Amino acid sequence: MSKKIITTDRAPAPVGPYSQAVEANGFLFVSGQISIDPSSGNLVKDSIEAETKQIMENIKVILEARGLSMENIVDATIFITDIDFLPAVNKVYGEYFKEGNAPARKTVAVKDLPLGARVEISVIAVID
């Protein structure tokens, strides 16, 4: 098996010992993203919608660093600190996928997330 580390300065640097994304066996595994604004390094916390939008933009630029798009995502996992956030997260998340082309997904309510984030999303994309 060969693997390739994918990085871009258009997305936030990892806050721990992990890569932004790893390519292996025809898939791109994008690490969980929280709402860090890469230009300021600060967590976006204006609203759940704003957090989710920043996360999705972070994912988008990581995919673009490998020449992929949101259309390549086949699986996503969403971690939220309050299940009541789900309708707002779904609204923003859904805007990034064409009708009928959303990936498989899991949503998990958790106690805490890094840096006090309220939402974290990781994805797996297929490489054409």
Enter the tokens of residue 53: 């939008």
Enter the tokens of residue 32: 């969980």
Parallel, antiparallel, or unpaired: how do β-strands 3-6 and 73-80 relate? Answer: unpaired
What's the pLDDT score for residue 40?
Answer: 95
Cα–Cα separations (whole angstroms), residue 4 to 23, 111, 119: 5, 32, 27
Prediction pTM value? 0.96
Enter the tokens of residue 105: 């997904």
According to DSSP, the residues that pair with 76 across neighbouring strands are 105, 123
- CA–CA dist 116, 45 (Å, integer): 9
Domain 3-126 has CATH 3.10.310.30: no
Q: What is the mean pLDDT of each run of 10 residues along the chain (128 residues)?
A: 93 94 97 97 96 98 98 98 98 94 96 97 96
